[in-house]
Amino acid sequence: MSAETKFRTKYQDRLTDLKTLSHDSNNNEYLCQNTTYKSYNFDEIVKARNPKCTPASPDTLIFKGNKVYCVEFKNSFKKRVNAGVIKKKLEDGYKVLSEIFIELGLQLTDYQLIFCVVHKGFNESKLEKKETKWRKIRYRTEYKRIAQFDLEQYKGKYFDDILTNDVDFFRKEFIEKINPTLPC
């Protein structure tokens, strides 16, 4: 039985749409607008397992074949994302996911683990005067598959790949791979 099937059996009540998962309660904003695609609310799974002392964790788990995406939504611009908080979510989330895989009789090594941080993109309307300059910077730095927030050290140790990029990249490169007709 696949990891997705075992997760669905145990955590079907934790399936939530991307819009809800990307909600920023401080600002009452959503990073994604999609209410169709459901993925696992990993924060809720972790909270239910550890009600007294809840470890940090990414927002959601998305299964695609032998790939498991651990996705953290940050409804702020890259500059304002706290790297320490992201590292804690990566480390603690990996530990909890490892425990769950063992309980479900699964081997993490049979799956490709990918950690994703999705944040707000540039507000280009405010940068119209510098459009050419910013586009060059954006495509040179933002759209490369570079692990931001000092996460490169975790690649190969905890996760097979680490993607940190804005919501536009997430829509274009990630959501389309899951379902080409699915907007974020």
Pairing state of beta strands 29-30 and 23-24? Answer: antiparallel
Judge whether 123 lies within some domain: yes
Judge whether 104 lies within some domain: yes
Judge whether 183 lies within some domain: no
- Can you give the residue range of the structural domain that contains 109? 3-178
For the chain, 184 residues long, give each residue's pLDDT as a single digit of tens. 889 999 999 999 999 999 999 998 888 989 888 788 899 999 999 999 998 889 999 999 999 889 999 999 998 888 888 889 999 999 999 999 999 999 999 999 999 999 999 988 866 555 444 554 555 455 554 444 455 777 888 888 899 998 888 888 777 766 666 555 555 6
Q: Which residues pair with 77 in a beta bridge?
A: 120
Which residue type sits at 20? Answer: T
The count of structural domains within the chain is: 1
Judge whether 99 lies within some domain: yes
Judge whether 184 lies within some domain: no
Structure tokens at 11: 């955590």
